[in-house]
């Protein structure tokens, strides 16, 4: 039954349309409003506030404020003002903080921060009335004072306003962001997932958005569930309402054209506008969608002989990591970390206390356990199967074993033709089936929620271990053999390239969605030696990888080798912290992706420094499709787990598009 007031106020009301909204704090009010205007309401919270309790950036702000080092402080929300002071009063006296604020120019965005500041005894210098966006706020600050050289602090709330920060910096201001909350997905995601399924099934008539974070989280959950293309198609068939310009810009950036905005950016006005306009929009939308759907289904790759074989990587085509490998826009910058299942995690150490490293690699249930634990503990965007780059050397019967504190040791290194003749007949990836079994168990545990990364050492790095008998600083034995016995070098590298290609395909067939090739030691070579002694074999390995599975080609110390590595092949190129990401990408070319490149040592810094460095890398990537955030090498054993979690949350927060 439709309430008569809905007809009076809207000219017809929803008329029983199925309306989905994503409000959190005002969920009950939203449902009541939709039903009052004659809609069938589903309200699925898409975001939750998570106060940042360990917040060194906030305490650093307070220290600079008390020292008189800010010229202007901007407060964006009333709740954020109260939460910030609640946190700071653990360490500083309120009266000192208030006195310091009275001595600087303060800007309040809307009446709520004005009221919160008054509760503290501070009258804001400039009140920017609602409704407004960051642009109106910037214009008001522009009129207030010359910004060049001014030191400005901005109280953030939920997600950083990169546009505002960058606009102030473009005017010469020195900007400090003061985080208070992080926006996260709700603890109970099932209502959100149910709403997504409704949209994907094209059973939603009208969808309402009141925050850009709602959009980012909706897309992120759909990507995790592998239904992002279906979500976009369902949204493009519904009447989509946006509360205002920022929200609309977010929708357009993700391929969704909003159908209407309210006259004023308020929830009540949005529902009223939806009730007035949605019935007519829904009536005309299906034909427009059929005429030209904006999102096409991912194509099925053909295997040899023309037989369609979608392959594992097409099971989750909408996941941000796979989108990045294809250089497609994604909801946020995906992040995974090399050595993310390792000694820095207490859960890993508990397993390691009971089993040797090699036993953990060779027992699929143990390898899967530590793989899945890392994904669940960290909330990274992909699992990388727990294994070791040297496993392809096991079948060669060269005495590979792992010594505590010394790493891998090879008892019988290959340095002569006779050594290779003894080992070569045993070279087969089939002896590594236990890695495929670990991937299958991991897939059953994770379902389709996360892509799985398989990996192997690159031919040069494996050859270096095989020839040196372990790790090396100068690679004297390796390079001497390379220079003086070129035929033997060719045989070694050809054998390793063949086995590595077979091994990577074994992992893909078991369920890996993409693979990474680790050339950890290739940075010891100059460009000429790389092109002569390495490039042909790396190219052969990558060319052997099954069609449809993206390849990440990674090396350390490779600033002088990037163009040659690009020639060797790969869809994404991993770079370490020794090279600027933007410069590396320019050299590699825009038709490939780039992975990296956070310094692993920086994970020992405080959260404020981690945030600063992560922001710098994201700015270097400039939001271009194809960036996968990662470290420049593996996580170190002593790294604080909380700092690793913080980095992942920061990347998700700052890169939400």
Q: What is the residue whose two structure tokens read 């372990």?
A: 470
Instruction: Show the tokens assigned to 483.
Output: 């220079």
> 56 CB contacts (<8 Å, ≥6 apart)?
606, 607, 608
Label the pairing between strands 572-574 and 174-178: unpaired
d(CA 256, CA 248) in angstroms, rounded, equals 9
Q: What is the residue whose two structure tokens read 């505590």?
A: 404
**Quick check: bond before 597 cis, omega within 30?**
yes
Q: Which long-range contacts (CB under 8 A, 24 or more apart) does 226-230 make?
A: 226/315, 226/316, 226/317, 226/318, 226/319, 226/448, 226/449, 227/196, 227/197, 227/200, 227/318, 228/318, 228/319, 228/331, 229/295, 229/296, 229/297, 229/298, 229/317, 229/318, 230/200
Walk across the sheet containing 383-384 and list its strands: 383-384, 452-457, 514-519, 551-555, 572-574, 593-595, 627-628
Active site residues: 339, 343, 352, 388, 465
Contact between 278 and 272 (Cβ < 8 Å):
no
Tell me the three-class secondary structure of 6-38, residue by residue.
Answer: HHHHHCCCCCCCEEEECCCCCHHHHHHHHHHCC
**Quick check: bond before 640 cis, omega within 30?**
no
Which residues partner with 260 through β-bridges?
241
Neighbours of 385 (CB within 10 A): 26
């Amino acid at each position: 039954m439709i309430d008569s007031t809905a007809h009076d106020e809207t000219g017809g009301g929803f008329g029983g349309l199925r309306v989905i909204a994503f409000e959190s704090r005002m969920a009950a009010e939203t449902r009541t409003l939709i039903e009052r205007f004659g809609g069938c309401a589903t309200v699925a919270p898409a975001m939750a506030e998570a106060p940042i309790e360990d917040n060194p950036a906030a305490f650093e702000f307070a220290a600079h404020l008390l020292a008189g080092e800010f010229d202007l402080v901007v407060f964006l929300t009333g709740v954020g003002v109260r939460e910030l002071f609640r946190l700071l009063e653990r360490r500083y006296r309120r009266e000192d903080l208030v006195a310091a604020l009275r001595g600087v120019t303060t800007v309040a965005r809307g009446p709520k921060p004005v009221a919160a500041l008054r509760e503290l005894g501070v009258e804001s210098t400039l009140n920017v009335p609602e409704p407004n966006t960051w642009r109106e706020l910037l214009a008001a600050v522009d009129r207030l004072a010359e910004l060049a050289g001014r030191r400005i602090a901005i109280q953030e709330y939920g997600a950083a306003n990169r546009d505002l920060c960058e606009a102030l910096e473009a005017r010469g201001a020195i900007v400090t962001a003061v985080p208070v909350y992080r926006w996260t997905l709700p603890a109970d995601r099932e209502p959100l997932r149910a709403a997504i399924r409704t949209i994907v099934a094209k059973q939603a008539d009208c969808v309402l958005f009141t925050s850009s974070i709602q959009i980012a989280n909706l897309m992120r959950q759909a990507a995790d569930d592998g239904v992002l293309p279906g979500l976009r198609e369902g949204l493009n068939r519904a009447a989509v309402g946006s509360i205002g310009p920022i929200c609309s810009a977010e929708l357009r950036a993700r391929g969704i054209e909003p159908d209407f905005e309210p006259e004023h950016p308020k929830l009540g006005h949005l529902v009223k506008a939806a009730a007035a306009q949605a019935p007519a929009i829904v009536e005309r939308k299906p034909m427009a969608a059929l005429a030209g759907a904006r999102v096409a289904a991912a194509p099925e790759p053909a295997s040899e002989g023309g037989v369609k074989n979608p392959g594992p990587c097409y099971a989750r085509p909408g996941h941000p990591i796979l989108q990045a490998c294809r250089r497609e826009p994604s909801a946020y910058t995906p992040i995974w970390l090399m050595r993310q299942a390792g000694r820095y995690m207490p859960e890993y150490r508990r397993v390691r206390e009971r089993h040797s490293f090699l036993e953990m690699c060779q027992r699929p249930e143990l390898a899967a356990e530590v793989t899945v634990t890392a994904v669940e503990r960290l909330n990274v965007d992909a699992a990388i199967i727990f294994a070791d780059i040297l496993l392809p050397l096991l079948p060669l019967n060269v005495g590979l074993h792992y010594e505590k504190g010394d790493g891998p040791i090879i008892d019988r290194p290959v340095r002569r033709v006779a050594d290779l003749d003894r080992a070569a007949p045993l070279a087969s990836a089939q002896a590594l089936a236990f890695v495929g079994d670990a991937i299958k168990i991991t897939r059953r545990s994770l379902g389709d929620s996360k892509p799985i990364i398989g990996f192997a050492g690159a031919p040069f790095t494996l050859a270096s271990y095989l020839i040196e008998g372990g790790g090396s600083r100068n690679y004297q034995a390796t390079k001497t053999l390379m220079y003086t016995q070129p035929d033997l070098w060719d045989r070694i590298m050809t054998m390793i390239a063949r086995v590595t290609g077979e091994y990577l395909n074994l992992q893909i067939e078991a369920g890996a969605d993409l693979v990474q090739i680790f050339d950890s030691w290739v940075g010891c070579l100059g460009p000429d030696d790389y092109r002569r002694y390495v490039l042909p074999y790396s190219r052969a390995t990558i060319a052997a990888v099954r069609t449809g599975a993206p390849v990440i080609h990674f090396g350390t110390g490779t600033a002088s080798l990037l163009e040659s590595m690009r020639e060797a092949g790969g869809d994404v190129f991993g770079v370490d912290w020794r090279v600027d990401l933007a410069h590396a990408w320019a050299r590699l070319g825009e038709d490939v992706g780039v992975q990296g490149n956070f310094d692993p040592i920086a994970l020992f810094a405080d959260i404020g420094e981690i945030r600063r460095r992560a922001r710098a890398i994201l700015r270097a990537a400039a939001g271009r499709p194809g960036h996968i955030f990662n470290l420049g090498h593996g996580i170190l054993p002593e790294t604080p787990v909380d700092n690793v979690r913080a980095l992942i949350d920061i990347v998700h927060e700052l890169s939400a598009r």
